[in-house]
Structure 1
Amino acid sequence: MTSRAQALPPSRIGLISDTHNLVRPEALDYLAGCDAIIHAGDICNQAVLDALAQIAPLTVVRGNNDTGEWAASLPTHATLTVQQVAILVVHDIADVRGDPRKDDIRVVVTGHSHKPSISERDGVLFVNPGSAGPRRFKLPVSAGILTVEGARVHARFDLLVQ
């Protein structure tokens, strides 16, 4: 008799970006219960990261507005693997180097534009959770969830405020 390896439960990864020094209670509520959180830059203050770290482990990249001593040690690119899915995090999609598929990247998480979007290109899922910080122009205030189950991945974004 052979035994099957038990499948891991789905992992919920919270996606947030462009908080610009604002930690909305709606964002904290939205991210509650996540297994991990990715912040795709433009944090603007260590206190934002401190608040998010109370919820789940963080993966963070530095955005173009993250300056000063507190941000000096933040990387511009980060990779992590959740179950069987490799994820690349950069603030600006223009900073994605080369072809992510060559590094077996399945998901690229970005910020910068403040526009939430999800698209798939050549087998790579590109996710921008939008901005969870101060409203900019008429763009939505949003965040996202990445659900990973083995090698399968699904992304969504949701409005935090109307």
Structure 2
Amino acid sequence: MGKALIVSDSHGLTDELETLKRRYQDDVDLMIHCGDSELSTSSKEMSGFVTVKGNMDYLGDDFPNEAIELLGDTCIFITHGHLYDVKMSYLSLAYRAEETGATIACFGHSHVAEAFEREGMIFINPGSIRLPRGSFDKTYAILEIEDRSISVSFYSLDGKRIDQLSRTFEKKTVKK
């Protein structure tokens, strides 16, 4: 039903973003950058990405603070995380994502790769392809939404899947 490339916290990297775009351009429906690219909105490396403004995005001053995207029938809330204090708690992020009707919240800021579910909301932080924390791998994520499941697979920058970080969640049906 839909597939997305999710990156964050690239902090000035350009060749690596171009490599990921080439690697996945024919395989994904959506490319997301969760902020702190430190690139301008007009840079060629950011073309094709739905991008939000991080706390270090001085060149990309006109990036929005948040974005909402549909992948198939699933609503995704995208933000960097600094405005929601994600290093302290996920509660503010969860409330804002829920307000937008999202069932998936994508964020960065902490540089820690993780995917987890709380009270029906799936949280995805792809980590950082420049300065990872909590792991030695520079990471990004691939989100795959199917009829009954949502899979988040993490990869090192060289394209190797990181099984211990990757997760599959049951897709919840939205009540109308």
What band does the TM-score fall into relative to the shorter chain? 0.7 to 0.9
1:113 is the counterpart of 2:104: no
Q: Please list every run of 5 or more consecutive structure 1 residues that lacks an aligned counterpart in the other structure.
A: 1-9
Q: Which amino acid aligns with 2:5?
A: G
Report 1 or 2 for greater relative contact order, CA contacts < 8 Å, sequence distance ≥ 6: 1
TM-score by structure 2 length? 0.72
TM-score by structure 1 length? 0.77
Task: Measure, in 2, the Cα distance between the counterparts of 1:134 and 1:113.
Answer: 10
Of all paired residues, the percent bearing the same amino acid is 24
CA drift of 1:81 comes to: 1.2
Q: Please list every run of 5 or more consecutive structure 2 residues that lacks an aligned counterpart in the other structure.
A: 85-92, 161-176
Q: Which amino acid aligns with 1:83?
A: G
Q: Residue 145 of structure 1: SS of its match in structure 2? A: strand
Q: Aligned pair count?
A: 148
CA drift of 1:89 comes to: 0.6
Superposition misfits of 4+ residues, deviation over 6 angstroms: none
Distance 1:144 1:98, change over 3 A: same
CA drift of 1:28 comes to: 3.6
CA drift of 1:154 comes to: 1.9
Partner residue of 1:39 out of 33, 56, 61: 33
Partner residue of 1:50 out of 44, 53, 57: 44
Would the aligned equivalents of 1:62 and 1:76 in 2 still touch at CA under 8 Å? yes
Q: Residue 46 of structure 1: SS of its match in structure 2? A: coil
1:160 is the counterpart of 2:157: yes
Two-structure CA RMSD over aligned residues (Å)? 2.7
